[in-house]
Amino acid sequence: MKLQEATKRETLHIAVGTLAFSVIMNGVFVLLGKWDMTVLWGTLLGGGFAVANFFFLALSVQKLAAETEEKKGKAWMQMSYNMRMLATVIVGIVGVSVPCFSWVAVLIPLLFPRVTILAMQLLGMYKPEKAVVNNDKGGDESV
Amino acid sequence: MMEKAIIMAGCAIGAGLALIAGIGPGIGEGNAVAKALEAIGRQPECKGDVTSTMLLGCAIAETTGIYGFVTGLLLIFVAPGIFIGKL
């Protein structure tokens, strides 16, 4: 499957944002004097999984964009969500129960994609495009 | 002994309730995709914009489920130790 431009671009944005917030989180651990290797491994597991989860979501959405049947698309998306949530549960349980991972450092990066999207919106990276009005061709004015 | 059992039961019930939050995003994402496909079918030239917006919308919706899951994990693995330690 060839990756669409939107998939690559958004995954890159999320990956960069997750990396930045992971560095900040590790910095906070260092400032609190609680940093050790378990925090680093936990960040790698949680942050890596968060980006991978977004990438698989993007692949699902890309595949669905070529779909024409709404019911089929809906069912596929719900199955995709279930599979990704199951993977999240496995990663979460491994992160909390295996001692070589810091559970805080595993669980917090799972929420970084949301924070990244919020940061991108605050930075004005997702402003809606201005509606194009074309009265000559009799087109409807976009709302 | 009884207090420990009550704490464990409370945490387990709380975790179960928190995990209910995982149901909503699945339904919501499915509906969002169905409507996006309808929109693409109506205006195929908007496919790129709709895909990009749908992707971010689905990511935001999915985080709600992850919030519930993280809360559930904390209630199962972390909270009992904290509360039992205070007894």
Tell me the per-residue pLDDT of A56-102, one tens digit each, with 9 for 90 and over. 999 988 888 777 777 888 888 888 999 999 999 999 999 999 999 99
Mutation target among B20, B27, B33 for the A interface, most CBs of A within 10 A: B33
Q: Phi, psi (5° rounding) for residue B60?
A: -65, -40
**Which H helix or E strand runs over B7?**
helix B2-19
pLDDT score, position A129: 53
pLDDT score, position A121: 87
* pTM of the predicted model as reported, rounded to 2 decimal places: 0.84
What pLDDT digit, counting tens, does each position of A99-131 carry? Answer: 999 999 999 999 999 999 999 888 887 665 554
The answer to whether A108 touches A44, Cβ cutoff 8 Å, is: no
Q: Which residues are within 8 A (CB) of A143 and not within 5 positions of it... i.e. 6 or more apart? A: A131
Tell whether A141 lies on the interface with B, counting CB pairs under 8 A: no
For chain A, the C-alpha Rg in angstroms (whole number) is: 19
**ipTM score:** 0.81
Note whether A64 contacts B37, CB cutoff 8 Å: yes
